[in-house]
Amino acid sequence: MKLTDATLHALPDVVATPDYDRQQNQIGIVHLGPGAFFRAHQAWYTDRALEKGGDWGICAVALNSNRVKTQLAPQQGLYTLGEIDRVTHFRVIGAVKEVLALKEDFDLVIQRLTAIGTKIVTMTITEKGYSLNAKGRLNRQDKVIQSDLQNYQQPSSAIGLLFLACQLRYQKGISPLSLISCDNLSDNGHKLKQALVDYAFEIDPTLAEYIELHVICPSTMVDSITPATDDKFVQQIAELGYEDNWPIKRESFSQWVIEDILPADIPAWAEVGVTFTDDVSGYENAKLRVLNATHSTLAYLGAYLGIETVLDAIEQPNINGFINTMLKEEITPSFAAPVDMDIQQYCDSIVARYHNPAIRHLLAQIAWDGSQKLPMRLLPVIEANLALGNGIQKCCLALAAWMRFIVNKQQQGTELVDPLAESLLAIAEQCQNDESDVARFLALDMFNADWANHADFINAVTSSYKLLVSHEQQNTRQQILA
């Protein structure tokens, strides 16, 4: 049995189905870039919001490929989402009413973007899709942008397409769209708007001013792990008694935070778990410190202890206790959480995610690009706590574990995935397994000289580093957290 509107009623009871009339529901949202994350995240929230009413069906537009259209159009946009944890929950998502491919369906895409009923455009187009330069402005040297500016009525970039939609709606007197970036890009809404204004200014300065004043682009934060669909999961769906061309799965945890500047006429997202706030950056900061800092800590301590996955690490009582104490004593005291956020509940939910047996998250992958991640994740915690007079020992042990990770990579001759790999391995080659190693690492530009020379910081990192070396030499690594 193939998954279609006609077969929804025949699906097994373990599969939840849309509790609203898909035939009556009209399109109100266009989404650019309908990959797995969108279908597991924004479409899932919208699907649940549709149970509260409103014409918020989604037209999903693939910008560079027709694969999603090929797979989902025969199913009228339907697909199965598995929320995987100790128990997997299945739900058929009905929010996607139409699936288009920009290159094949350009005219129809423009019709959807300029329809009176379309009020929102969401997007998951990756950071590259915003065509930004190092300053967060439109990259006018981008070849795709240059091509679109020369032929702006037939764009292929997301920015060019959004400009054309804004222009046509303006010319027809149709109310402006709300544009919602859902990519992991800090301050994403404001950067999206700036890129769009920069692009518009090249073609029509008057329209650029209109976009600046009237087009709403809230910043957002999104979070949920969406593993790739594998043959095992496809077979799992088939064993339920029906065929789905492209089922997807994600962890049970999901978060969507939106800057509270949208008009009143939006889906009932707030009623189904979406957080609207004036402090998106506060939520981003909480994610960086609570989730990302502990992720990196698990990665480097896990590498030191020879552990493979997040689950394997957090299931060890000593590591679990270390992470929870680190959160309580060093991470949460280092920043002010948003006023509308229950920080303890958030910390608990993050640790609970790590215990999900259905997610095989490799520590080796989290350890990639440490020189780029640690200045965003761990070092701000240390810097803030030095200023506040709080403890830093556990964060410094994680930092020392990163240093030993680099040294061990060099000694073992294994690949180091990091933009600074050459420089880091050169440092590691000079290391003597003593405090001089720490000084070599702290000379890197990733450390702020104003506080990297702080005596308490140097002492904490050095003592942690020497402790790690000592346990290595005595072959007692497993006792490091005892």
Give the pLDDT score at 450: 81
Rounded to whole angstroms, the maximal C-alpha distance in the chain is 76
CATH number for the domain running over 281-479? 1.10.1040.10
* DSSP-derived secondary structure for 23-43: TTPPEEEEEE---HHHHHTHH
Predicted structure pTM score: 0.93
List the beta strands (DSSP E) in 102-203.
Answer: 120-123, 178-181
Give the pLDDT score at 134: 85
Q: Can you give the pLDDT of all 482 residues of the chain as single tens digits?
A: 999 999 999 999 999 999 999 999 999 999 999 999 999 999 999 999 999 999 999 999 999 999 999 999 999 999 999 999 999 999 999 999 999 999 999 999 999 999 999 999 999 999 999 999 988 999 999 999 999 999 999 999 999 999 999 999 999 999 999 999 999 999 999 999 999 999 999 999 999 999 999 999 999 999 999 999 999 999 999 999 999 999 999 999 999 999 999 999 999 999 999 999 999 999 999 999 999 999 999 999 999 999 999 999 999 999 999 999 999 999 999 999 999 999 999 999 999 999 999 999 999 999 999 999 999 999 999 999 999 999 999 999 999 999 999 999 999 999 999 999 999 999 999 999 999 999 999 999 999 888 878 999 999 999 999 999 999 999 999 999 98
Query: CA 60, CA 71: separation in Å to the nearest integer?
Result: 13
Q: Are the C-beta atoms of 350 and 290 separated by less than 8 Å?
A: yes
Reading the block at residue 203, the tokens are 């073609």
CATH architecture of 5-278: 3-Layer(aba) Sandwich (3.40)
Give the pLDDT score at 299: 97
Q: What residue segments make up the domains of the chain, in order of their start?
A: 5-278, 281-479
Give the pLDDT score at 451: 80
Q: What is the SS3 assignment for 446? A: coil
